[in-house]
Amino acid sequence: MSAGFVIIAALVAGWLVQIFFTYRQSMAFNDDVRRLRKSGTVSVGVGGNRYKGRRSFVGIAVDEAGVVRDAITLSGLTTFARARPLPGLFDVKVSVLRGDRDIPHVSSSQRVAARQAVELYDAARTTVRASV
């Protein structure tokens, strides 16, 4: 075997391992988002910079009164990061999340992701669905 073949095989193997761990992270986050459904209507947003490693995903569960009852965040540099509760968003009204005001214990990328989640939540609530 040539050295070039070994290097290419190692790169392909590393790439496949990364795909596997990314898939597992995605499925774990989806399971956590599904658990939010018990607390209300769920919406997920993303914020931050993909290439600087400060990207955050935020899932919120909003009740009928427009208050966040549960929230999780996924942020980290590796595929080993897992969702964690985001208590800084608990009991916050969606009208506050629409604005620009800082929220204690919530990073700027989480804040942007929460704002996007609220925008998607609002868009889904205003969409008129045709009855068939």
Report DSSP letters for 22-37, one per residue.
Answer: HHHHHHHHHHHHHHHG
Mean pLDDT, all residues of the chain: 90
Report whether pLDDT(17) > 60: yes
Cα(42)–Cα(118) distance, rounded to whole angstroms?
Answer: 10
Report whether pLDDT(5) > 60: yes
What number is the average pLDDT over the span 31-46? 95
Report whether pLDDT(78) > 80: no
pLDDT of residue 124: 87
Cα(97)–Cα(9) distance, rounded to whole angstroms?
Answer: 48
pLDDT of residue 92: 95
Cα–Cα distances in Å, from 55 out to 39, 51, 107, 131?
25, 8, 11, 38
Take residue 73 and report the two structure tokens written for it.
């965040």
Give the pLDDT band of residue 64 (cuts 50, 70, 90). Answer: very high
The pTM score is 0.84
Give the start-to-end residue ranges of the domains of the chain.
3-126
pLDDT of residue 54: 80
Give the pLDDT band of residue 100 (cuts 50, 70, 90). Answer: confident
Report whether pLDDT(23) > 70: yes
Take residue 72 and report the two structure tokens written for it.
């999780």
What residues are paired with 43 via a beta bridge? 60
Q: Please tell me the class of the 3-126 domain.
A: alpha beta
pLDDT of residue 75: 84
Cα(92)–Cα(77) distance, rounded to whole angstroms?
Answer: 28
